[in-house]
Amino acid sequence: MAVRQIRILPDPALRRKAKRVSDIDKSIQGLVDDMVETMQVAPGVGLAANQVGVGLRIIVVQLPDEDVVVLINPEGVKRGGERLCEEGCLSVPGYQGELKRSVWVKVKGLNRHGKEVRLRGEKLLAQVLEHEIDHLDGILYVDRLENRDKLAP
């Protein structure tokens, strides 16, 4: 395992749409391990592969006192409600902003062993899942701010 460099805005890797993973091989397993270690050292609660310069649809998430969740080729299935959230990002260090996110989401993807998983997240987990899946589509939370004047250090 290794800590990888987190890409910082305006790095172009953050704006590219990530490609689907077709084969979960040893290189993907190694990437997942590196992403988990990088997220934990940062520290953060989520990380998308393109944040470490790899254009593949992989995210890792770990809420405080929870196990790590790995999703390969994640996609949103359903969402509901709306709430205002304070949000930051490892790729936009030192800033936070307020934006609207779903109260709950349902996502599906593959775990690190290639087994299909479905996950329902509420509040913070929903927020992190939406944030990380946005990354895979080249979208950063600052793009979703209603008022960039509220972006604050």
- Considering the candidates 37, 87, 116, 132, report the single residue annotated as catalytic: 132
Q: Which residue has the tokens 């006192």?
A: 65
Nearest to 12 by CA among 91, 96, 87: 91
CA distance 49 to 139: 13
Q: Tell me phi and psi for residue 120, to 5 degrees.
A: -110, 130
Measure Cα distances from 105 to 22, 42, 143 in Å.
25, 25, 20
Q: Which residues contact 84 (CB under 8 A, 6 or more apart)?
A: 98, 99, 100
132 among known catalytic residues? yes
Q: Which residues are catalytic?
A: 132
